[in-house]
Amino acid sequence: MLKKLSAALAAGLLASVLAACGGGGEDTASGGEAGSGKIVLGFSQVGSESGWRAANTKSVKDSAATAGIDLKFSDAQQKQENQIASIRSYIQQKVDVIAFSPVVVTGWDAVLKEAQAAKIPVILTDRAVDSDASLYATFIGSDFVKEGEEVGKWALEEFKSATGPVNIVQLEGTVGSAPAIDRKKGFEATIASNPNLKVIASQSGDFTRAKGKEVMQALLQANPKIDLLFAHNDDMGLGAIEAIKAAGLKPGTDIKIATIDAVKDGMTALAANEINFIAECSPLLGEQLMELTKKAAAGEPLEKRIVTKETTFTPQQAAEVLSTRQY
């Protein structure tokens, strides 16, 4: 009898202790303490130069929120000194991980060494640097040489029956940036197999629509016969289309156009036959970046290079996928 009573009492006591614990646990989770256990990621973005960049920024911000990572975000407005300053401030703030999309390839050794001395892992996203690979944890992004080659292969096919010179103008991305260097390299090496295909002018349009338009205007004035425009991104191509129309020519017909990125506006122009070919470059790097951030914060080793998967589009293919594009 006594045994039964004490057993019942013990069971009751246990139940109330468990209830208190459960309640207490919930209170702590939903109240106070918020964020204290979160991984802090300092991210330095290149700027807001293009539709690609806008989609990339959204992907990073949305993915951080979903992954429960505390994101400190800064926009460098395409200036390396701004990026270096914000990386230094992330080091001072002792964030857990630093990620950045380097505006240009050179000049990062000093700040990367500072991050390493502070034992903060650095993840490169989207663009490469020429520093030693021991100075960063990993680099996630596209193969820009391959993107340039894809455009080159398309150009070879498009102009394979040309009997005379095919005059090409190139709108390059930001001077000294990995995508501008590599896309040019891949494209020019590929078209070299047909001596009819000649780049008659090549100039930077800084990856922006406004600059693309301005530079194309000048190129149209200086070169009476242009057969093909290769723009290193959709935005410069879209700016150039405005200049071509203003000159009384039909984009996609009088001057063929190939670009890289495949953002919504570019794909819309492609489906309307104002652009003839786009090599895709995916800006949706956020989710993978957050996974890598968690691993880096936990001290896990990372693969040094992670290449983004991408494809290419003709006008017909663009029309088919346009309504389901995320960006």
Contact positions toward ligand GYE, by CB under 6 A?
A: 49-50, 52-53, 126-127, 179, 207, 233, 235, 260-261, 281
Cβ at position 230, least distance to ligand GYE in Å: 13
Residue closer to ligand GYE (CB basis): 39 or 281: 281
Could you tell me where the beta strands, DSSP code E, fall in the chain?
Answer: 40-45, 70-75, 97-100, 122-125, 138-141, 166-172, 197-204, 228-231, 256-261, 277-280, 305-307, 312-313
Cβ at position 235, least distance to ligand GYE in Å: 6
Residue closer to ligand GYE (CB basis): 79 or 250: 79
b/e per residue, 170-201, with b = 16+ CB within 10 A?
bbbbbeebbbbbbbbebbbebbeeeebbebbe
Look at phi and psi of residue 126 and say left if phi exceeds 0, alpha if psi is from -120 to 50, else beta. Answer: left
Amino acid found at 126: D
Residue closer to ligand GYE (CB basis): 39 or 238: 238
Nearest to 231 by CA among 179, 271, 189: 179
Q: Round to whole Å and give the CA distance between 275 and 277.
A: 6
Question: Can you say whether the dihedral through the CA atoms of 95, 97, 103, 106 is positive or negative?
Answer: positive
Q: Round to whole Å and give the CA distance between 15 and 36.
A: 31
Residue closer to ligand GYE (CB basis): 39 or 60: 60
Cβ at position 270, least distance to ligand GYE in Å: 15
Look at phi and psi of residue 143 and say left if phi exceeds 0, alpha if psi is from -120 to 50, else beta. Answer: beta
Nearest to 154 by CA among 186, 202, 195, 126: 186
Question: Can you say whether the dihedral through the CA atoms of 218, 256, 244, 242 is positive or negative?
Answer: negative
Residue closer to ligand GYE (CB basis): 152 or 179: 179
Cβ at position 139, least distance to ligand GYE in Å: 12
Residue closer to ligand GYE (CB basis): 265 or 291: 265
Nearest to 42 by CA among 103, 83, 79: 83
Q: Round to whole Å and give the CA distance between 81 and 104.
A: 11
Cβ at position 30, least distance to ligand GYE in Å: 40
Cβ at position 208, least distance to ligand GYE in Å: 8
Q: Round to whole Å and give the CA distance between 18 and 64.
A: 34
Cβ at position 282, least distance to ligand GYE in Å: 9
Residue closer to ligand GYE (CB basis): 261 or 274: 261
User: In the numeric block, which tokens belong to residue 211?
Assistant: 């600059």
Cβ at position 261, least distance to ligand GYE in Å: 5
Cβ at position 234, least distance to ligand GYE in Å: 7
Residue closer to ligand GYE (CB basis): 159 or 237: 237
Residue closer to ligand GYE (CB basis): 113 or 305: 305
